[in-house]
Amino acid sequence: MRDTGSRLSIREYLQLIGVRDLPPLTSPFDPGYDPVTVESHLEQSAHLMASLKISMACWQIANEAATRRKIAAARSHGVPAVTGGGPFEVAVAQGQLEAYLDLCANLGITRIECGEGFTELALKPREVVKLAHERGLVVQYEMGKKHEGPFTEDSLEEAVARGHSWLDAGAVQLVVEARESAKGVGTFGDDGSLNAAYADRFAEEFGLDIAMFEAPNKPSQFAFLEHFGQRVHLCNVRLEELLRVEIFRRGLHSDAFALPNLRPALPGVEIGR
Amino acid sequence: MRDTGSRLSIREYLQLIGVRDLPPLTSPFDPGYDPVTVESHLEQSAHLMASLKISMACWQIANEAATRRKIAAARSHGVPAVTGGGPFEVAVAQGQLEAYLDLCANLGITRIECGEGFTELALKPREVVKLAHERGLVVQYEMGKKHEGPFTEDSLEEAVARGHSWLDAGAVQLVVEARESAKGVGTFGDDGSLNAAYADRFAEEFGLDIAMFEAPNKPSQFAFLEHFGQRVHLCNVRLEELLRVEIFRRGLHSDAFALPNLRPALPGVEIGR
Amino acid sequence: MRDTGSRLSIREYLQLIGVRDLPPLTSPFDPGYDPVTVESHLEQSAHLMASLKISMACWQIANEAATRRKIAAARSHGVPAVTGGGPFEVAVAQGQLEAYLDLCANLGITRIECGEGFTELALKPREVVKLAHERGLVVQYEMGKKHEGPFTEDSLEEAVARGHSWLDAGAVQLVVEARESAKGVGTFGDDGSLNAAYADRFAEEFGLDIAMFEAPNKPSQFAFLEHFGQRVHLCNVRLEELLRVEIFRRGLHSDAFALPNLRPALPGVEIGR
């Protein structure tokens, strides 16, 4: 048997075949997995995670030790732990925003998501962000409604306006709603097709560093990457789908290898992208 | 940064926002996960599990040590481990009921499910329950047929009658069949819609402490909770969906927060439910 | 309480009810799970795995330590670790086949899959197999195209011809493509129905020890087992579905118990199969 001699690391191999290094650009979410699984995903993929959403209200009814364990695991890998918009909206509706923020800070959460997906918010963005900052919590804001169907021209402009008011108030990123289905919500029509013009509106208004897109399933993940290319920031990707998203992003998936904006460069050939 | 001072536990926070404590009301199932994942789900959610079904015949062909490990984990968290109706039916059909019961008892199973979903049972309920009790096994009975489509008026009444005969014989709970699909079976039409009148028939006849409903996917889980409210006992929920079911049950899911029978009370306001 | 006396193992119980021992006949795949979950599945089910596919290119962008941990776990259970056809095709297209093979060998991979699912291969099978063998790597070849729809009479014959040329060159097994969907690809029509005549063509040409069938979801898994019976070799089964496939194979699933070619023999009765 041949002595292979060269002891390439996988990373060196990827460079050989023209795959570029990318910063973490996906924010996966934990839809209620067990803590050991979450921890082991972090070991495997922390370098690909821009943040980790401890999702929905699941963390509020799990054993508290299990919730703390997940958050601590994220922190120990340097991945910001984010709570979802739902618990924020419920806290506000029940008149307990400050208690909610105290709880998040105490649990070790880095960032909270604010939104008005299924409630109306009477508070001003600036008030909310101030209360969060007092507790060391970073803020992101989710644009869109959960129960009103896809964006219309009007609701799109309203969402954009709200996005600006939250950025002005100190929020650091904006999320475009797609729920768990990516169908009949946000930038997705009732058949799940991406309304590229609507998605572009957010990208042009805020840029791809500020605007993030919820991509909860394979068709929405692939659609955003095909449309925007490697640099789009995706969120609400189920943990077990993260690696598939990332190989698609790098053109290593069989459906992405043919796409000019994702395909790895031919080694030795420099392409303008 | 503000010293948050108050060190609320998550449970105290839930009380603040009006979420009631509930006993465990869901019986999730293990569809063939690995033992470490099952153990970690128990750490996270044992307090939400009325029992844990070690599902289908998967435990019979797994490495025996893995099966024993799952059952022992359930026991150590005080969660009764239940075997499904399928292995019972096969055991009877192959003439090995007593060997099956011996095996279950020896493995540490707490409860067995009996049924006639895809076979006919010649034995009387009383005979079966007696054999189970001799081995310290509790009995539940599954009502419904796997391959005959949704209930009809006739098959519904026959299922109710069988339920009574098993309760009379010493079974402690009854399960309403929905398979893995909740489509074209039991109380679900071919389009997956819940036949509420049929579901009510079981609830009225047996009460919500005795009658449990298989709810194998999100639409069936949400339909039962919307229809019956917080107290309905759901089973055959995949382990990774348990937390989502329980936040819906408590009105913490965005789709449940608007529902009067699930929404948390406004703090300080007492509502009659 | 009765002293059950007999301490049957599960395996002895299966013999009692007429379930035969079978060699490992399924090659599951890891679609991007975490390493702890993969390890624990191996503990539970290594005896059922003909090989384990470390899937797609996921292993190339995971933390290298996580990838190595999965491969080492497979090896320690005596399960050959296989890489998928996608990374092979990309390596060839990028002009780095030898580096790819070096990398696989260095990571502890036992077997590689070669294919032309989304690229054209200019190299001769014999050249590829020689390079693999020099590094101690076994070769299997995947027949079929990912993006050209189901087989036609012509593309079927071409796939068969390529299969022969790879076997002649030293490949040990052949895989029939079905992608992740088993719809509109390989032996599956656009509605997901199995074209039994096409499947038979592979079985008759190569035999069920050489030809393996990708069965990525429940309908395709059950369709192949119903059609071919217990001895068909299935691959690309998600790890968490492996046990369900294997109870179906043994007639222990409620949908398989009625099928003459899968149903366990009645104890004491010898059936010709």
What are the pLDDT digits (tens) for C142-157? 999 999 999 999 999 9
What pLDDT does C272 receive? 40
Mean pLDDT of C6-22: 93
pLDDT class of A5 with cuts at 50, 70, 90: low
Across the interface, of B8, B43, B264, the residue whose CB is closest to A99 is B8
* pLDDT, chain A, mean: 94
**Residues whose CB is less than 8 angstroms from the CB of residue B5 and which lie 6 or more positions away in sequence, other chains included:** A102
Examine the pLDDT at C5 and tell me if it is beyond 60: no
Q: What confidence tens digit (pLDDT) does each residue in B78-109 have?
A: 999 999 999 999 999 999 999 999 999 999 99
User: B178 near B236, Cβ under 8 Å?
Assistant: yes
Chains that touch A (3 or more CB pairs under 8 A): B, C
What pLDDT does A271 receive? 45
What pLDDT does B267 receive? 73
Q: Which residue of A has its CA nearest to C60?
A: A10
What pLDDT does A7 receive? 86
Q: What confidence tens digit (pLDDT) does each residue in B117-173 have?
A: 999 999 999 999 999 999 999 999 999 999 999 999 999 999 999 999 999 999 999
SS3 A78: coil
User: How many C-alpha atoms does C4 have within 13 Å on its Cβ side?
Assistant: 23
Q: What is the CA radius of gyration of chain C?
A: 19
What pLDDT does B225 receive? 98
pTM above 0.90, yes or no: yes
What pLDDT does B1 receive? 47
pLDDT class of C267 with cuts at 50, 70, 90: confident
Mean pLDDT of A108-128: 96
**Residue C257 forms contact with A (CB below 8 Å):** no
| Kind plus residue range of the DSSP H or E element containing A58 | helix A58-61
pLDDT class of A273 with cuts at 50, 70, 90: very low
Q: What confidence tens digit (pLDDT) does each residue in A230-268 have?
A: 999 999 999 999 999 999 999 999 999 999 999 999 876
Across the interface, of A1, A11, A242, the residue whose CB is closest to C32 is A242
What pLDDT does B273 receive? 37
Examine the pLDDT at A127 and tell me if it is beyond 70: yes
Q: Please, which residues bridge with residue C49 across strands? A: C26
User: C242 near C26, Cβ under 8 Å?
Assistant: yes
Q: What is the CA radius of gyration of chain B?
A: 19
What is the rounded distance in angstroms from the CA atom of residue C44 to the CA atom of residue C67? 20
User: A212 near A178, Cβ under 8 Å?
Assistant: no
Global ipTM = 0.94
* pLDDT, chain B, mean: 94
pLDDT class of A269 with cuts at 50, 70, 90: low
Give the residue from A154, A156, A192, A153 showing the smallest Cα distance to A176: A156
| CB < 8 Å from A in window 25-44 of C | 31-37
Question: How many of the other CB atoms lie within 10 Å of CB of C218?
Answer: 17
Mean pLDDT of C97-119: 97
User: B188 near B220, Cβ under 8 Å?
Assistant: yes
Q: Which residue of A has its CA nearest to C33?
A: A240
How big is the CA angle at B36 (ends A111 and B110), to the nearest 5 degrees?
Answer: 120
- CB–CB contact C13 B58 (8 Å): no
| CB < 8 Å from C in window 120-159 of A | none
Distances (CA, A) of A125 to A103, A139, A203: 20, 10, 22
Q: What confidence tens digit (pLDDT) does each residue in B17-51 have?
A: 999 999 999 999 999 999 999 999 999 999 999 99
Take residue C215 and report the two structure tokens written for it.
Answer: 């069965």
What pLDDT does A272 receive? 40
Distance from CA of B44 to the nearest CA of A (A): 5
DSSP 8-state class, residue B187: T
Examine the pLDDT at B2 and tell me if it is beyond 60: no
Tell me the pairing of strands A52-54 and B26-30.
unpaired
- CB–CB contact B94 C266 (8 Å): yes
User: B239 near B54, Cβ under 8 Å?
Assistant: no
Q: Which amino acid is at C161?
A: A
Residue written as tokens 């090989």? C51
- CB–CB contact B61 C264 (8 Å): no
What is the rounded distance in angstroms from the CA atom of residue A168 to the CA atom of residue A205? 14
What is the rounded distance in angstroms from the CA atom of residue A82 to the CA atom of residue A112? 5
Mean pLDDT of C35-56: 97
Distances (CA, A) of A240 to A42, A178, B14, C66: 11, 18, 29, 14
Take residue B11 and report the two structure tokens written for it.
Answer: 């449970």
Chains that touch B (3 or more CB pairs under 8 A): A, C
Take residue B238 and report the two structure tokens written for it.
Answer: 């995949």
- CB–CB contact A17 C90 (8 Å): yes
**Residues whose CB is less than 8 angstroms from the CB of residue B129 and which lie 6 or more positions away in sequence, other chains included:** B139, B166, B169, B170, B171
Q: Please, which residues bridge with residue A188 across strands? A: A185, A194
